[in-house]
């Protein structure tokens, strides 16, 4: 890059040929001439700084920082920006609900890919047997920037989470991947690309996602090197290596160490050696790295150096794949400006509340109730740090349903088929629910209620009736069990008669549970970490010290 302020980047105001630079010399040899020269140099430096330096938020699961470049370099970065479709699922995402000030939040899904699709990634990722295999989304973090830009919430999903992956279409290959009712979340990336991971998140959480950013192994190393190191802490000496050769190879002394390059990648990939050796502690370590990086970038004066900034920008762009909703580096700049407004003390990282799976050993599933509580808080733009936003979200009006004018028959004359749909929330089905609920109906006089073996997974309990003359009967069934009338719906294309599907929201008991008062307090199972907590340290698993 030229060192002068004119030429390709400036506007001809420097002292080079053809720009009238000599006119700045006053020719009197006195103080005024010196001041003029100094003023000219100051002005040129100011213009040069404006021309050469722009601030961009380059955000991935690793990076929140700035990058410096001139106009041509900006165009160079623009040409290298890799883009893919935001959403490969068949379900359109809902629009954001604005708050009372008309502001809307911003949600970005950060994806760390384990792709071994080139020599650099193969060298860093190892695993020769996986060269050329479908990539896995081994790191997934949702970053929620509040509508008023006062706080940021980061939600991690462990890569071992078992859930439903919806149907996804690979538009490049014109291939459709059928839905999978019970699959590991990191497999979503191999079903057409990051747009399927976005669709999977939306299918589970209902949180509309505006953008995604994806980074690979080589990107982790190059960006960590460009930053110059990130401080991390372990409670004891650690060496992540098992007797049979498993582990990341991370080797650190007790206390705080600044890591970069391959050590940074090892930290982010370490499972054996942290906590209890599960993926949950790996996610925790990734959160610590991210928050530490944010603090480091904000205080690191070296990042005002244009050469340093250019290296960071180059590393970021080379390693990133973004959604087509980020159509230019200017969009990254806009996102970065939003991120910069939030102090570290208002950044909260969490892990999706989860439980160990009863269906797949060593895997986890979303924790019923508490996972949805976190999803709801993000959907409703409620700060996870409990401090509240300046502009409150609008409260939706409670849903009600009119009482049917169709008179209900006597309970003993109403036929009801009961289905078990308790696995609709992604959890294992609660066994025997159809029989339990049909028995509860019989006890209330609905002697023609019968359980079916048909499974129909639903997140919420639903009563469907086939024709208008059954509306009153269907509502009578709902009233008998305490089910809200909003769950009673006409379904002329559905099964004949009345069908009650017991959803994931009613896994036990003979009376439909009353809705719990909504809490704006983050569950302890979310394992929150504040962005300004520089004392956090990773626990070391027994047997991995040295």
Q: Mapped to the 3 state alphabet, what secondary structure does 401-467 carry? A: CCCCCCCCCCHHHCCEEEEECHHHHCCCCCCCHHHHHHHHHHHCCCCCEEEEEEECCCCCCEEEECC
Q: What is the pLDDT of residue 217?
A: 62
Q: What is the pLDDT of residue 24?
A: 35
Q: What is the pLDDT of residue 70?
A: 57
- We find that the CATH architecture of domain 71-386 is 3-Layer(aba) Sandwich (3.40)
Which of the residues in the chain have pLDDT under 50?
Answer: 1-69, 116-118, 120-131, 301, 390-391, 393
Q: Give the C-alpha separation, 172 to 105, whole Å.
A: 31
Q: What is the pLDDT of residue 328?
A: 87
Q: Which tens digit of pLDDT belongs to each residue from 60-89?
A: 332 333 333 456 767 888 888 899 999 999
Q: What is the pLDDT of residue 205?
A: 95
Q: Which two tokens stand for residue 337?
A: 């400006």
Q: What is the pLDDT of residue 225?
A: 72
Q: What is the pLDDT of residue 113?
A: 79
pTM of the entire predicted model: 0.72
> Distances from the Cα of 453 to the Cαs of 450, 456, 520, in angstroms?
10, 10, 39
CATH 3.40.630.190 domain span(s) along the chain: 71-386
Q: Which tens digit of pLDDT belongs to each residue from 144-196?
A: 999 999 999 999 999 899 999 999 999 888 999 999 989 999 999 999 999 99
Q: What is the pLDDT of residue 115?
A: 54
Nearest to 350 by CA among 151, 146, 527: 527
């Amino acid at each position: 890059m030229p060192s002068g302020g004119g030429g390709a980047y400036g506007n001809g105001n420097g002292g080079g040929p053809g720009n009238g630079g000599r006119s700045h010399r006053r020719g009197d040899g006195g103080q005024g001439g010196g001041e003029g020269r100094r003023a000219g140099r100051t002005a040129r430096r100011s213009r040069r700084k404006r021309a050469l330096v722009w601030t961009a938020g380059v955000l991935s699961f690793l990076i929140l920082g700035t990058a410096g470049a001139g106009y041509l370099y900006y165009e160079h970065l623009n040409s290298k920006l890799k883009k893919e479709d935001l959403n490969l699922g068949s379900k359109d995402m809902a629009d954001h609900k604005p708050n009372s000030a008309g502001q809307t939040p911003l949600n970005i899904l950060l994806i760390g890919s384990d792709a071994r699709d080139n020599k650099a990634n193969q060298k860093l990722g190892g695993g020769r047997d996986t060269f050329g295999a479908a990539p896995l989304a081994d790191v997934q973090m949702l970053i929620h920037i509040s509508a008023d830009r006062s706080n940021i919430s980061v939600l991690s999903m462990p890569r071992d989470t078992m859930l439903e992956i919806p149907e996804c279409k690979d538009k490049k290959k014109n291939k459709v991947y059928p839905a999978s009712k019970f699959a590991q979340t990191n497999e979503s990336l191999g079903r057409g690309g990051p747009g399927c991971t976005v669709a999977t998140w939306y299918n589970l959480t209902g949180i509309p996602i505006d953008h995604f950013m994806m980074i690979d192994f080589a990107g982790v190393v190059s960006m960590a090197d460009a930053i110059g190191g990130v401080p991390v802490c372990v409670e004891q000496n650690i060496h992540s290596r098992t007797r049979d050769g498993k582990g990341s190879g991370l080797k650190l002394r007790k206390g705080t160490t600044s890591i970069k390059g391959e050590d940074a990648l090892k930290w982010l990939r370490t499972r054996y050696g942290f906590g209890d050796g599960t993926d949950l502690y790996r996610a925790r370590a990734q959160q610590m790295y991210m928050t530490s990086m944010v603090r480091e970038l904000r205080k690191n004066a070296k990042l005002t150096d244009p050469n340093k900034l250019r290296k960071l920008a180059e590393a970021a762009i080379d390693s990133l794949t973004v959604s087509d909703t980020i159509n230019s580096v200017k969009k990254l700049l806009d996102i970065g400006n939003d991120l910069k407004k939030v102090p570290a003390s208002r950044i909260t990282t969490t892990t999706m509340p989860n439980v160990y799976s009863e269906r797949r050993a060593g895997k986890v599933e979303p924790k019923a109730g508490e996972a949805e509580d976190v999803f709801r808080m993000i959907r409703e733009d409620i700060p996870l740090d409990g401090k509240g936003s300046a502009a409150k979200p609008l409260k939706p009006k409670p849903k009600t349903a009119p009482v049917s004018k169709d008179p209900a028959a006597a309970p003993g004359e109403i036929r009801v088929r009961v289905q078990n749909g308790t696995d609709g929330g992604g959890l294992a089905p609660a066994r025997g629910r159809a029989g339990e609920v049909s028995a509860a109906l019989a006890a209330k006089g609905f002697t023609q209620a019968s359980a079916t073996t048909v499974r129909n997974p639903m997140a919420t309990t639903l009563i469907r009736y086939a024709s208008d003359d059954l509306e009153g009967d269907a509502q009578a069934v709902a009233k008998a069990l305490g089910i809200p009338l909003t769950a009673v719906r006409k379904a002329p294309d559905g099964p004949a008669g009345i069908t009650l599907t017991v959803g994931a929201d009613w896994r036990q008991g003979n009376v439909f549970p009353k809705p719990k008062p909504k809490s704006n307090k983050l569950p302890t199972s979310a394992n929150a970490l504040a962005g300004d907590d520089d004392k956090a340290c990773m626990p070391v698993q027994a047997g991995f010290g040295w």
